[in-house]
Structure 1
Amino acid sequence: MSFLAATGMTGGYGGADIITDCELRVERGEIAVVVGPNGAGKSTAMKAVFGMLNLREGSVVFDGTDITGLAPQERVRVGMGFVPQNRNVFVSLSVEENLEMGAFIRDDDISQSKEQVFELFPILAEKRNQPAGELSGGQRQQVAVGRALMTQPRLLMLDEPTAGVSPIVMDELFDRIVEIAKTGIAILMVEQNARQALEIADHGFVLVQGTNRFTDTGEALLANEEVRRSFLGG
């Protein structure tokens, strides 16, 4: 059984199913990437894993425990961190206050965790007293990731972490994601920059119309001619 095993996920937002028999898996310390065309159900699948979507069928098993019935806030307490694509920082709060908000479930000393985030993202240490709303898009993404790390997650889920950032910032974010995985945290990531994401992925899932079309290692998917032609621009 994988560290995270989301299997047979079928459901939507009250109308037609958006994902059908969808499967996502990731192991400790590995990076799993979900790619596919627009409207493929990638973000919906991620939300289903985090409990933001009621599944009509399927299950989510995390570290050997079935958590299908848990609410999102309960999933945070068992070790899941989620960074949504939009509205993922408190714009009126400082960088440091955003990080402190991320530690809401903890009652221990969070100072070491804050310093670890500042080591991972040095620019945030420089701007720790600056309102998050004044930061660049890439810096806001760093704040959002850092805040999720403050919960000390065992699984970090990222929904389009490089959306709207420059190629240089994208590369930097991917480098930091690799560093996070090296600490033993599992990473599950939906990403629009499919080729670059698969280059750092241990495993990849290509979704089409809410269903798994291809599942393989990142390296194998990059080498797959049909995947390259249909989803990676040749």
Structure 2
Amino acid sequence: MSFLKAEGMRGGYGNDDILNGCTVEADKGEIAVIVGPNGAGKSTAMKAVFGMLALREGSVTLDGRDLTKLKPTERVAEGMSFVPQVRNVFPTLTVEENLEMGAFLRRDDISGTMEEVYGLFPILKEKRRQPAGELSGGQRQQVAVGRALMTKPTVLMLDEPTAGVSPIVMDELFDRIIEIARTGIAVLMVEQNAKQALEIATRGYVLQHGTNAYTDTGEALLANPEVRRTFLGG
């Protein structure tokens, strides 16, 4: 069994199901990427895994523990951390205060984790006294990811981490995500830049209409002519 397994998820908003039995998994040290067309249910799947959407069917387990009924805050305590696509920093707080907010559940010394985040994102140490709202889009994403790492998660979930940033910043963020996975954290990521994301993915999920259209390694999905034609633009 995978370290993180969200199996047979069915659910949505009101009476409409957006997820129709999709399954996503990630092991420690892996980067699992969810891609697909707009409206495929990618972000909804992430919210369901994190407990922001109640499932009508399916389950979410982490290291064999059933988290299906837990609230998001309870899932954070179990080892999950989630970076939403928008409104993911406190703009009036400094960079360092944002990182401290990420450690709100911890009762131990957070200084070591803070230095690890600064080691991963050196620009944040340089700007640690600056309000997060004054940073560039790419730097704010670094703050958001850094804050999520302050919980010392075993699973890091990223919803469109490169949305609205330049190609250079996107490449830098992907490099940092690879570094994070190498520490043993399981990374689950939704990404619109599908080709680039699948290039770094250990495993990939192509969703369509809330279900798994294709599931394979990132390399195999990139080589699949039907996936390339239908979802990756040739």
Q: Which TM-score band applies after superposition, normalised by the shorter structure?
A: over 0.9
Q: What does residue 68 of structure 2 align with?
A: 68
Deviations 1:129-174 (A, max 9, x none): 0000000000000000000000000000000000000000000000
Residues in 2 aligned to 1:61 and 1:102: alpha-carbon distance in whole angstroms: 23
TM-score, with normalisation over the residues of structure 2? 0.99
- The separation in 2 between residues aligned to 1:5 and 1:157, in whole angstroms, is 13
1:22 equivalent in structure 2: 22
Q: Secondary structure at the match of 1:69?
A: coil
The whole-number CA distance in structure 2 between the counterparts of 1:16 and 1:69 is: 20
SS in 2 for 1:86: coil
SS in 1 for 2:128: coil
In structure 1, the partner of 2:195 is 195
Q: What SS does the corresponding residue of 1:207 show, helix, strand or coil? A: strand
* Structure 1 residue 233 displacement after superposition: 1.1
Show the counterpart of 1:184. 184
TM-score by length of 1: 0.99
> Aligned residues, how many?
234
CA RMSD of aligned residues (A): 0.4
Deviations 1:100-119, CA, capped at 9 Å, x for gaps: 00000001110110010000
Structure 1 runs of 4+ aligned residues shifted over 3 Å read none
Specify the alignment match of 2:42 in structure 1.
42
- Matches of 1:197 and 1:165, distance apart in 2: 14
Unaligned segments of structure 2, at least 5 residues: none
Secondary structure class of the residue paired with 1:125? helix
Q: State the partner residue of 2:114.
A: 114
Instruction: State the shift of 1:14 in Å.
Output: 1.8
**1:13 Cα deviation from its structure 2 partner:** 1.5
The sequence identity of aligned pairs, in percent, is: 76
Structure 1 residues without counterparts, runs of 5 or longer: none
State the match for 1:213 in structure 2: 213
Matching residue's letter, 2:213: R
Amino acid at match of 2:216: D
- The SS at the match of 1:12 is strand
DSSP-derived class of the 1:9 partner: strand
Letter in 2 for 1:69: K
* 1:84 pairs with 2:84: yes
